[in-house]
Amino acid sequence: MLAMAEVRNDGAMTVDRFPDMDAYGLVDVPGSAVAVGPVRAAKKVLERTTTDLARHVTYALAVRAIDGTGAAVCLNGDPMADDRDRVVEQFVAASVEWSTTTGFRATHGMGLDASLIDPLLTTPPVTVSEATAASAVGALGSPDGPIVIASPQPEPEVESRLAARGLESSTASLEDALAMDGATVFVRCRTGDLDHGSLDGIAASRIVSLTPSATTARGLAFARRSGCVVVPDFISAGGWAHACATGADADDIAATAEALAGSLAGSGVDSFVAAAELAETNLRTRTADLPFGRPLAP
């Protein structure tokens, strides 16, 4: 049996401690039809980071009117410990049991080989990169300036989807891309990289993130002051959560993101707030306790 759930101060979030090991399962909005998120393992998995990951998924699903929530299962412990194999096996078994009551579907593993967590993994009809490209390009809207991809890795799926819409793109560093007048910038970066320092006085007109929680609250405010639209990353980078929760294919993901972009077109620099309010309106149809805090980097 699993340990009794804790009720956190993040809305109705619950954390279930797994017995006989340093591990837990976290659900952002309990009672949802499906709970989606990672399996995380490290010497010390920070609950704050786990909460941020779950919050991104909660809003990604809610803005799409999907009855789902962000979640995660996490294991703390020395990866070199002598009893590691036994602990991991016990952890996976407890996670499988926990998933039967929470509807948990693992999107990916962090710190554990996929073969070890296979009983937990869901297998949508798209890859992570395909799903992300579909949601990001779908959420693009109607650019009227240069399109630039700022990423430390090749983005062939993004380029292909842009080309299919008859749009040309180039690549540049993030700093150079943000300095281009009227540019739409596709960004792959670390959590919180789009902060007030990087977005102060930028010339770009639109930012489309390929990664969750790229933007901080202050960064969002500085972008707004510069007249730059930050496409909500729970829309642009939410394709993988959409696929894992519903089994949607790339075309469905793109069409949903495009429809959301159309509904937000009149919101301009307030698009993030408008999208968050839409997600919260949908959440209120199934919970009295909204998550505490929107999906922005700390």
Chain segment 33-86, per-residue pLDDT in tens: 999 999 999 999 988 899 999 999 999 999 999 999 999 999 999 988 889 999
* Strands annotated E in 28-145: 34-42, 68-76, 104-110
pTM: 0.94
The CA distance from 129 to 228, in Å, is: 25
Q: Is the pLDDT of residue 4 over 80?
A: no
pLDDT score, position 1: 46
Tokens of 77: 């412990």
Ramachandran assignment for 37, one of left (phi > 0), alpha (psi -120 to 50 degrees), beta (any other): left
- Residue at 251: amino acid letter: D
- Residue at 93: amino acid letter: A
pLDDT over 90, % of the chain: 86
Write out the H or E segment, with its range, that includes residue 274: helix 271-283
pLDDT score, position 129: 96
| CB neighbourhood size of 122 (10 A) | 15
- What percentage of the chain's residues is helix, strand, coil (to nearest 5)? 40, 20, 40
When the pLDDT of each residue in the chain is averaged and rounded to a whole number, the result is 93
The CA distance from 292 to 185, in Å, is: 30
DSSP three-state, residue 136: helix
Calculate ∠ Cα 96-101-107, nearest 5°: 55
Q: Which residues contact 112 (CB under 8 A, 6 or more apart)?
A: 39, 41, 75, 88
Summarised one tens digit per residue, pLDDT across range 138-171 is 999 888 899 999 999 999 999 999 999 999 999 9
Average pLDDT over residues 199-219: 96
| CB neighbourhood size of 281 (10 A) | 12
> Are 188 and 272 within 8 A, CB to CB?
no
Cα 274 to chain centroid distance, Å, stands at: 18
pLDDT score, position 12: 81
C-alpha R_g of the chain: 19
Q: Which residue, 205, 195, 197, 198, is CA-closest to 226?
A: 205
Average pLDDT over residues 109-126: 92
Summarised one tens digit per residue, pLDDT across range 81-106 is 889 999 999 999 999 999 999 999 99
Which domains are present in the chain?
5-120 (3.40.50.10860), 128-272 (3.40.50.720)
pLDDT score, position 10: 58
Summarised one tens digit per residue, pLDDT across range 239-282 is 999 999 999 999 999 999 999 999 999 999 999 999 999 999 99
Summarised one tens digit per residue, pLDDT across range 5-23 is 554 545 689 999 999 999 9
DSSP annotation of 24: E
